[in-house]
Amino acid sequence: MTVSRVVNMKGNVKQATAERIQRAIAKVDYRPNIGARRLSGGRTYQILMIFNNPNVTWTAKLLIGMMHACRNIGYHLLIEGVGDYEGDTIGLPIDYEEITKLLDPSRIDGVILPPPICFDRRLLEIVREKAVPCVRIAGTPAQDIQLRVSIDNFAAAYELANYFISEGHENLAIIKGPGDYVASALRFEGFSASIRDHGLKLSPSNIQTGNFDVQSGNECARELLRLKDRPTAIFASNDEMAAGVLSAAQESRIRIPEELSVAGFDDAPIARSVWPKLTTIRQPLRAMGEKSVELLESYIRQINNESDETVQSNVLLDYELKVRQSSGTCPIAKH
């Protein structure tokens, strides 16, 4: 029993005894049997991640972070894919009945929701009703579900626009993400704000909306490149769409970055596999995955009164502007 107390850092144990036990634990490489723990205590030591993002690469990076954190704190990670996450499109229907079953507190201690499922109002409602501890990744705080891990999307896009403008660009364009992505909306806000703050204008014809895949980036770019007053810099709200911009430019024999600057968002693998390599905002996905698990766990400890520290509900991690070959000085400003 005293061993149990030491392992769980719960209850009072004499300092000396605790140390003696710690030593023994290290010696035998003892690790609690998670099954027995689950059987006995009320907790399940399982965390669920539900994802419906068709961009598996993106989700996989988060996943790796979650895996690591879970192992460190002795949790199991369950992964549930909903919707057609193998296809190329997004926004496919979610089976709420199935999800409701999964969210049974007798099977999991908490849930992590990455985008875009973390923006789904109906799902959030279910989570709230079932009172399942929940951490959302990206977006803004939502009703009754405060736990969240993100980067500052507004600031990141603001900084990117600043960079474009510092390179002499005045005619900027943006390809927004799908409407239901709150994170993407914030990027748009940040981008616009910088333009406004520099006394420039973002004309409505310079605003396109894609759906985060390469094809849509290509199509939006065609529209933009066809404009009489063609923009000299395009910000696509993720790297896949930015890759589509690149291919559209190549089709039209527009040289990058000499005639057109392009930037993406995420620093996904594709950012470095296209040519030229993409200027982008790096999002620390792996760290975000780790943090989300840690945040969830400390919250679970808190509501079980196993911890006295208050849990910070909003974790903002650092992003980073990566300038690569797809962007440069504005051609018009050159002379």
Partner DNA sequence: CTGAAAGCGCTAACAT
Partner DNA sequence: ATGTTAGCGCTTTCAG
- Interface residues with a second copy (CB under 8 A) are 29, 33-39, 56-57, 59-61, 63-64, 67, 76, 78-79, 81, 85-86, 88, 101, 213-214, 218, 240, 243-244, 247, 250-251, 269-270, 272-275, 286
Please report whether residue 4 would count as binding DNA according to CB under 7 A. Answer: yes
252 lines the binding site for DNA (CB under 7 A)? no
Any contact of residue 32 with DNA (CB under 7 A)? Answer: yes
Buried b (16+ CB within 10 A) or exposed e, 293-312: bbbbbbbbbeeeeebeeebe
The stretch among 6-14, 108-116, 123-131, 149-157 that binds DNA (CB under 7 A) is: 6-14
Which of 18/79 has CB closer to a second copy? 79
Which lies closer to a second copy via its Cβ, residue 145 or residue 234? Answer: 234
Q: How far is the CB of 45 from DNA (least distance, A)?
A: 9
Choose among 220, 236, 224: nearest CA to 174: 236
* Choices 41-49, 88-96, 127-135, 275-283 (CB under 7 A): range interacting with DNA: 41-49
Given the complex with DNA, which of 34 and 254 has the nearer CB atom?
A: 34
72 contacts DNA (rule: CB under 7 A): no
DSSP 66-85: HHHHHHHHT-EEEEEE-S-T
CB of 234 to DNA, least distance (A): 55
CB of 68 to DNA, least distance (A): 22
How many CB atoms within 10 Å of residue 270? 20
- Closest among 130, 124, 117 to 143, alpha carbons compared: 124
* 161, 235 Cβ separation under 8 angstroms: yes
Strands 314-317 and 233-236: unpaired
Binding segment toward DNA, per CB under 7 A, in 30-38, 54-62, 164-172, 213-221 = 30-38
Tokens 């296209």 map to which residue? Answer: 274
Residue 282 interacts with which of DNA, a second copy, none, CB < 5 to 8 Å by class: none
Q: How far is the CB of 106 from DNA (least distance, A)?
A: 9
Give the nearest distance from C-beta 76 to a second copy in angstroms: 6
CA distance 273 to 186: 27
Rounded Cα gap, residues 241 and 172, in angstroms: 16
Nearest CA-CA partner of 202 in 234, 173, 178:
173
Edge-to-edge strands, sheet with 148-151: 76-81, 46-51, 110-113, 134-137, 148-151, 314-317
Residue from the set 25, 37, 46, 105 that interacts with DNA by CB under 7 A: 37
Interacting residues toward DNA by CB under 7 A: 1-2, 4-5, 7-8, 10-14, 16-18, 30, 32-33, 36-37, 39-43
